[in-house]
Homo-oligomer: A and B are copies of this chain.
Amino acid sequence: MVQRLERAGLRSEILPTAGHPAVYGEWLQAGADRPTVLVYGHYDVQPPEPLELWHNPPFEPAIQDGRITARGVSDDKAPLLLTVQVFGAYLQTLGRLPVNLKVLFEGEEEVGSAHLPALVREQAARLQADMAISADGGMWSADFPSLTVSGRGLTALEFSVHGPASDLHSGRHGGALHNPLHALAAIIASLHDAQGRVAVEGFYDGIAPLSEEYRAGLRTLPFSDEEYLKFTGAAATYGEAGYSTLERQWNRPTVEVNGMWGGYTGEGSKTVLPAQAHAKLTCRLVPGQEPRRIRRLLEDHLRRATPPGVRLEFAPGEHAARAYQLPEGHPARRATLQVLQDVYGQVPLEVGMGGSIPILETFQEVLGVDTVLFSFAVGDENIHAPNEFFRVNRLYEGQHAWVRLLWALGEGLPPQQGEAHG
């Protein structure tokens, strides 16, 4: 990354952290009258497993039918790489950028950016900027340009249920000791009620109801449950009673089990009463929910839900981010909408995001800047799953849009041609 940034014409260096290092780059010769823009992205990727479901090896990219398939190509390598190509193109053609540029590419986004807040605090003076733009994020649909105006927060929790000291024969002992798998199932089942609501006490406290105006706006978006089910292959939508699919994705919090395991999971049969069972949970959060408070409520619930005869143990580690909301008056909001309209010839939609980008909160708290998400990934590109892909045409559209956005931020927008809505 450092070499790529240097080749593009930025001064660059590695910023060590207690985990994977971050990469910093800068070009600050646009002049004091030009804004300073901090560009964010991440070079790390999710684990590629399960490997057997990939059509090509996950780290040997294949191009077919206008798609590049590889782990990380959509989240976040291609969206990040195209920004570097734009910086280089400016510096190699005009010999300058329209703005003062700072770049921060991290290596721990997929594990909750655990060490980045400390780094940003340590480097706060150097990272000072007028606004942040993220190459991570992703558009809602391949058919409609969009600006993401909200994202859900996150808290994560891994725990184990311990029963006997070692695995026992389930014929000999079954029925006489609590099976940690039974206990785990009961605990997980207790997290939701029959209406799909989270049953953790206090979980929904402090969340403002959705306005009728907002909900009406959502209903005008080009989205149908039918198409969504076709895309995901699920048999039916399912979730918190009283909310639409988009509301459930963007505006309502969740408790989600990401992994659960215990006992014998290989081929054939093994009649074991296992010593342990495990689960990994994440909560998606909305404005009004403080991640640490939610984690504490969840821990309390899990303790109360643990039946006699087994013991609960929480894995160490925090992984938390508040929900995100792009302010109406953000300095890049109007420019972003205009550039998308110019590149795509369509009025962009303003949409929510179910996922989380923890670093946005740190930029807000430490640097005092809000972040615009300006990624050319799309929500259907199998991120975090086998056969992650990125559309080749979006490499070009993304470069085009970033060239225009930096220009608009530095040189100003041309006279306004239309108004974004959605």
Contacts and interface: CB of A to CB of B under 8 A. Distances in A.
Contacts of A319: 269
Nearest to A178: B238
A258 B252 contact: no
Contact of A263 (B112, B190, B257, B275): B257
A31 to B, nearest CB: 39
A171 B269 contact: no
A260 B262 contact: yes
A82 B261 CA distance: 39
Interface in A236-254: 236-240, 245, 248-249, 252-254
Contact of A182 (B158, B188, B354): B188
A307 B189 CA distance: 12
Interface residues on A, range: 35 or more
Contact of A257 (B167, B185, B237): B185
Q: Nearest 6 CB-CB pairs, A to B?
A: A165-B233, A171-B355, A185-B188, A259-B263, A238-B309, A178-B238
Interface stretch (A328-336, A378-386, A408-416): A378-386
Interface string A219-246: 0000000001000111111111000010
A49 B266 contact: yes
Most chain B CB inside 10 Å of its own CB: which residue of A191, A239, A254, A261: A261
Interface stretch (A9-17, A277-285, A366-374): A277-285
A4 interface: no
A104 interface: no
Given A172-B354, A175-B284, A270 B310 contact: no
Contact of A154 (B46, B171, B228, B232): B171
A412 B355 CA distance: 79
A293 to B, nearest CB: 19
A381 B252 CA distance: 52
Most chain B CB inside 10 Å of its own CB: which residue of A170, A184, A266, A278: A170
Copies of this subunit: 2
A47 interface: yes
A148 to B, nearest CB: 11
Nearest to A383: B169
Nearest to A268: B111
29 contacts: A47-B264, A47-B268, A47-B270, A112-B269, A164-B233, A166-B233, A170-B258, A170-B284, A170-B384, A175-B240, A175-B252, A175-B254, A175-B256, A175-B354, A177-B234, A177-B237, A178-B238, A181-B260, A182-B188, A185-B189, A185-B260, A186-B188, A235-B311, A238-B308, A258-B270, A258-B273, A259-B262, A259-B264, A271-B384
Contacts of A275: 233
Given A184-B260, A185-B188, A263-B257, A234 B164 contact: yes
Contacts of A171: 152, 154, 282, 284, 353-356
A199 to B, nearest CB: 12
A168 interface: yes
Contacts of A165: 232-234
Contacts of A268: 47, 111
Contacts of A126: none
A49 to B, nearest CB: 7
Given A181-B260, A188-B185, A270-B47, A238 B307 contact: yes
Contacts of A176: 228, 237-239, 245, 248-249, 354
B258 A261 contact: no
A384 B169 CA distance: 6
A163 interface: yes
Interface string A11-28: 000000000000000000
